[in-house]
Structure 1
């Protein structure tokens, strides 16, 4: 294409739509890559649509398909939407033309922050609080409750256990890649940033107004909230990791002490 354009991959995610709309409103042509057809395909903001391989089925074919589209349309930038897009584009970044901007961290950085057990080490280095965790051999020494049982990977789904008597039953259903973590009573909040090599381009915070469950989980309603303390903590993370691209750090503010605890880091675009 002779006109300036930006590629969005994978555009089948719901959160791709506001990205597509924003790119269009900034005056760029939008090239949307889908690994399955979904509603954004009908958007009037999309100039061209391409079907690519499913990255969960064949990652090398997915990467080759993206490279083929890139070589054809020559976009100024590729914006990855899902975690799998961010992960694979980072892993194979050297295969893409060097003049195309791909705003993502190094592959090793993404895999590092995607494991929640690594976050403990990160928090210890930079002085951020993290909920007490218990390993496979220690969970029986966890407090009476409540606790959170979660996997260590990005795709983990936490379970909340409010009585110690129920903990063993939950543990039996888990594989070995899990951890038991103290539950932090309080309010969920998040730090969001776009950065380059650890330098902030733009950042902001939000606070959760309504969560799916009183114990935590996805937010149903959140609002912008200028929080200097949270911004200070978030910027420490970005600087320490020398982060490039978007990042979301999820915290929980202890309602009793007022302390902020880091729960997870999302190395991808976020739906909020």
Structure 2
């Protein structure tokens, strides 16, 4: 296979799982980062090449120029796969230029950004009859009355631009319990030049969170899909998956496929839903438009999304497939799940017995792979180094 796969971002396990999913099929993988520090994903035996590019945010034009120049040197057009939201935003901004140099599934400039923006996404979902949590914008009339009557406390102050918000506050949102906390959260966001919305909390524990992971071909038709059920997140209640199981939920396909096809999406995407514990209704929460945290689980249940992307873009598509049964497999990111479990136990949301029982399920690990152990060793060294540095600085 002449076309290389250029993977953006290997300082997190999403990039690592993407490299493994492609490398195991004999594809030449290229790890692109802005530094060698902490890029444990590039230590995989399936990584064929690693290169250092200008920082995607500090030197955006330099980064784009680097990508173009790299492509010019290749004998076949590379496939471009971003593994972090910030890379997706930059690619979307320069999509029309980069399409001349790379194979990229999305063809409509702005659609990635539109579906990553919470406010624009929810407008889009509402237009297509998909339920979203009730939302109030800061500039609406009778703002406080709407919060008290429709949204009610506690509620969520959420960013429209999640990647930037997370980079500033190291959290995905603010949970507020009264008007004073609401005003403080809004003020914090304003001071950081972050646009936010206020949203109702859909009732239900973390195991009411679900995902619909899908690939849409160049005709914007869903060809591959899997549904999953989150069990634990970190930070708890409003964080990323750390312990999630594959679970067949056909209703998520019915809602998700119709919506994605209607908006003309192409490529891999994950929709996060929350099931209302009181009504059973599914609400669309957000879209992840790059390879997901759960990628190692999706691969293990038989749907290799990075490889599906590569094959279609290089003109040799994989047969359609859906996982229409329960496999009992779970994704596990043990490092952050340790902190999540502490939080659930401390707040009484889970019992020790429930946690212990869950650990006996067959797993797809975020980092560990006995056939490719070096990234795990690098990760352990990285964490140990950070802990030592923190301890010695006290």
How does the TM-score come out when normalised to structure 1?
Answer: 0.90
Q: CA deviation at 1:221?
A: 0.8
Residue among 174, 195, 200 paired with 1:182: 200
Q: CA deviation at 1:244?
A: 1.1
Range with bigger deviation, 169-178 or 147-156: 169-178
Q: 1:216 to 1:31 in 2, by over 3 A?
A: closer
Q: How do 1:1-272 residues align onto structure 2 when only pairs under 5 Å count? A: 3-37=2-36, 38-73=39-74, 74-96=76-98, 98=100, 100-136=102-138, 137=140, 138-141=142-145, 142-143=147-148, 144-155=152-163, 156=165, 157-164=172-179, 166-175=181-190, 177-186=195-204, 187-196=208-217, 197-212=219-234, 215-272=237-294
Q: CA deviation at 1:220?
A: 2.2
Contact 2:10–2:40 at 8 Å: present in 1 too?
A: no
Range with bigger deviation, 53-62 or 115-124: 115-124
Aligned match of 2:338: none
Range with bigger deviation, 252-261 or 136-145: 136-145
How does the TM-score come out when normalised to structure 2?
Answer: 0.64
Query: Helix, strand or coil: the match of 1:173?
Result: helix
Contact 2:5–2:80 at 8 Å: present in 1 too?
A: yes
Contact 2:212–2:225 at 8 Å: present in 1 too?
A: yes
Q: CA deviation at 1:43?
A: 2.1
Distance 2:98 2:186 in 1: 43
Range with bigger deviation, 3-12 or 182-191: 3-12
Q: 1:165 to 1:60 in 2, by over 3 A?
A: closer
Larger strand share, 1 or 2: 1
- Number of aligned positions between the proteins: 271
Contact 2:211–2:272 at 8 Å: present in 1 too?
A: yes
Contact 2:71–2:78 at 8 Å: present in 1 too?
A: no
Q: CA deviation at 1:177?
A: 1.5
Distance 1:96 1:132 in 2: 37
Gaps of 5+ in 2: 166-171, 295-394
Contact 1:248–1:266 at 8 Å: present in 2 too?
A: yes
Distance 1:99 1:71 in 2: 7
Q: CA deviation at 1:99?
A: 7.5
Gaps of 5+ in 1: none
Range with bigger deviation, 29-38 or 47-56: 29-38
Q: 1:172 to 1:91 in 2, by over 3 A?
A: closer
